[in-house]
Chains A and B, each alone.
Chain A
């Protein structure tokens, strides 16, 4: 600093004497478990874009679609779900950042998947729950597909 020979900004970072997280956490409101649609129009528009992107994505990725013919419906859903998880894992690594609006949507969808997974823990053979899971994963893949669509190199690497 030219004004006086002190370098205040070089003073070290300090560690709080105690961990205050517990008190802060106790003040947090209860978590909302369900998707709250604040704007019906905005949500509808977002889902439309996701649906279109998902369709484009799956038209290019036939390997995600089923499955051996001798499998039961439940087994097919589980297999598809697993393949989608694998694909999502790759996409998460490839797409390092998402625009805020899509990040919010991804967070919402992942929250819903987490809730479904809890329910599947209680009812692992529920075809309906697995179907819902595949639907949510389709939406999630659609969000990432929007990112990869503008980046052919990224799409080709998947």
Chain B
């Protein structure tokens, strides 16, 4: 399966046409970036509907502000920032989520296919989903998008040190969660020894 990447180069001609309001060029840009943009929105929001709204609002914003893009940095970086901003803004409008340490552990069955189920349950997105929105945003932007703490701080509106501490805390929580699931999985795969006498 194709991995996630926002780093898609856009040719100057399409960009120039889109700046002039050429709908075909705008659609080409949308088609090029809709999947990475939706993926970023979904990873942060963890809700298909919210991610769809973020995608839509972000692109409307992009095409309105296209004349502001100076071309000094890659287009994808500029677009990604608008999507991330939109996602953070969307998260702020939503009701506060339950953070990771308030979650109960995964409920795993203990049947014979437990190992696979544990692997499924340990799916990285599941662990990501269990983080609070703030922690998830910091983890994804830092560890996947490669944002610096300063960039994250600028985006979400708090200090760099706060971003660092959120990241550290989130990683620790994910690590604990992973260990916990692994332990459960190991127990689940054990077949009780019944002696027949």
Contacts and interface: CB of A to CB of B under 8 A. Distances in A.
- Please determine whether chains A and B interact with each other in the same assembly: yes
Interface of A: 1, 3-18, 20-21, 23-25, 27-32, 97-100, 103-104, 106-108, 111
A16 B4 CA distance: 14
Query: What are the 7 closest A-B residue pairs judged by CB atoms, nearest first?
Result: A103-B12, A31-B21, A107-B16, A104-B16, A16-B38, A20-B56, A12-B1
Most buried by A among B5, B11, B12, B178: B12
A24 B63 contact: yes
Nearest to A111: B20
Chain B's interface size range is: 35 or more
B143 A103 contact: no
Nearest to A31: B21
Contact of B71 (A8, A13, A100, A106): A100
Given A11-B125, A25-B26, A5 B178 contact: yes
Interface of B: 1-5, 11-13, 15-17, 19-23, 26-27, 30-31, 34-36, 38-39, 42-43, 48, 51-52, 55-56, 59-60, 63-64, 71, 124-125, 127-128, 139-140, 143-144, 171, 174-175, 178
B51 A32 contact: no
Main secondary structure of the interface of B (DSSP, over half): helix
B30 A21 contact: yes
Contacts of B11: 97, 103
A27 B63 contact: yes
A10 B144 CA distance: 9
A97 B12 contact: yes
Given A4-B171, A107-B16, A30 B30 contact: no
A11 B60 contact: no
B140 A13 contact: no
B76 to A, nearest CB: 14
A24 B12 contact: no
A96 to B, nearest CB: 9
A144 to B, nearest CB: 12
Contacts of A28: 21, 23, 26, 63
B38 A1 contact: no
A31 B23 CA distance: 8
A98 B64 CA distance: 25
Contacts of A30: 21
A41 B48 CA distance: 50
Contacts of B34: 16, 20
B133 to A, nearest CB: 16
B2 A12 contact: yes
A144 B161 CA distance: 52
B170 to A, nearest CB: 10
